[in-house]
Amino acid sequence: MMEKRFVSIWFRYLLTDWQTLRRPELKNVPFVFTGKDGARLIVKAANPIALQEGVTAGMPAADAKAIVAGLQLLDERPALTGKLLAAIGEWCIRFTPVVMVDMPDGLLMDVTGCAHLWGGEPPYLKEIVTRLRAAGYDTRIGIASTPGAAWAVARYGKNGPVVPPGKQLEALLPLPTAALRIEPQVQLRLHKMGFWQIGSFIHMDRRMLFRRYGIGLLDRIEQALGFKEEVLTPIQVIPPYQERLPCLEPIRNAAGIEIAIGQLLESLCKRLHSEGKGVRAAKVSCHRVDGQVQSIEIGTTSASGNVGHLLGLFRLKISSIAPGLGIELFVLDSKVENAAQEQHALWGGGTGAGHAPINELLDRIAGKIGPGVIHRYLPDAHHWPERSIRKAQSITELPAMAWRTDIQRPVQLLADPENITVSAPIPDYPPMNFIHKGVLHEISKAEGPERIEQEWWLENGEHRDYYVVEDREGRRYWLFRSGHYGEKARFNWYLHGYFA
């Protein structure tokens, strides 16, 4: 029977390496991720430069700022570590089919029978490390006959990453107590007794170790030596949401294309129904007999498993497909999400109450006028009008604050105020007329001003005095003057919106 072999990969600076890849300008800058610990803001992770300056994880952020001048503080992203490790773990499946996320900073892999494909264990490990480092992640690696020994060598080993079969004990003896993956409290109690290396206590009577340090220490020793099995829970890779339909005879007309897409959607939605998911985006690729590929894409406002609705969106674009001499293969690729509760009602034969009808209407409109045109806005906590609203991430996103209804706001707010020329009878009075894009507007009614101060914590600048005005044709505008009237002061007038 082939002996088991395990690899441990340690990402020493996982979060900061990821951040540096996204923002290369931070490569030579000390920075940390910070998060709340009760009422305190503490360092969660630090990049190598900050660590060299004396910053450590768990340190109060204020202390870290005092130690390192110019230290940049970034907000912690709690779920990011798991997502990164899972993504890298999926990538590592090319080296072995059994890869487990080893929180908080590593991967464990069962590589039994794999290394010889790369010419042996040393070149196998070199290939993994080289490719990960080329991708921007600083890694250490170890291989042994038990996960515990591989973990220990990857983090604390000094004699190379390979522990020969059956040599776990010899590899563990010179390593510190932390290499056994034991609780910090147990480590502290071992240190108080003078046990700083594994070799100083591993041969002691097991009953005595159990009485003094608990079953956890014994379990870790037995697992590292291979006397107790440690089961890995591998990453389960989800098969891609793709459907393929080869054709016996090439399809050359719109009716045939629609039937083919309908069959693909039926198969896809059957699977999505069983998984509680729905389509957010889909692409049909039509492979022609002459080798060319024609594609059409759709998007949905929310996850949808309604075949009729999805087919209706594709139907709007079928006319853009040129079948040429015929299409011999259809491929449907889709991006899916968990479906909302009302979607389950739709699959179950219900009416799809809630947002489903609205979403489907929006999808049909977007299918005609183009993607990225329809937006939903939510209130935001800012005084400045153009910052007081933001685009919602989805149609189901709830506002963090209520819309203000005690002040007038135009139905159309311009993203950038447009410069106008204004005549006023006396300073600080509403304007008599204004010229916008060469057109004179004589004002018959005006309300205001409403003063909105500059958000000084974001930028410097003048306040704004807003007026709601109506011209002689009955059209209503939202104008503002930036700053005060004065002999030396400079001010400008702007048009910022239209009322109904």
Q: Is the pLDDT of residue 463 over 90?
A: no
pTM for the model: 0.62
pLDDT for the residue numbered 295: 94
Q: How far apart are CA 420 and CA 422, in angstroms?
A: 6
pLDDT for the residue numbered 304: 87
List the single range of 197-201, 297-301, 330-334, 368-372 with lowest mean pLDDT.
368-372
Which tokens go with 116? 């010889």
Q: How far apart are CA 136 and CA 24, in angstroms?
A: 11
456: confidence class by pLDDT, cuts 50, 70, 90: confident
**At 44, which amino acid appears?**
K
Which tokens go with 306? 């309604």
> Mean per-residue pLDDT for 412-422?
89
- 53-87 residue pLDDT tens: 999 988 998 899 889 888 888 888 878 999 999 99
pLDDT for the residue numbered 239: 84
Q: Is the pLDDT of residue 169 over 80?
A: yes
pLDDT for the residue numbered 69: 84
104 and 122 Cβ atoms separated by less than 8 Å: no
Which tokens go with 256? 């045939």
List the single range of 71-85, 137-151, 456-470 with lowest mean pLDDT.
456-470
Q: Is the pLDDT of residue 351 over 50?
A: no
pLDDT for the residue numbered 37: 82
Place of tokens 């219900």: 350
340: confidence class by pLDDT, cuts 50, 70, 90: low
- 215-260 residue pLDDT tens: 999 999 999 999 999 999 999 888 889 999 999 899 999 999 999 9
179 and 200 Cβ atoms separated by less than 8 Å: no
> Mean per-residue pLDDT for 436-463?
85
Q: How far apart are CA 220 and CA 175, in angstroms?
A: 14
CA distances from 420 to 115, 186, 275, 362, 376 (A): 73, 73, 57, 36, 29
Phi, psi at residue 368, to the nearest 5°?
-90, -40
Which tokens go with 238? 């989800």
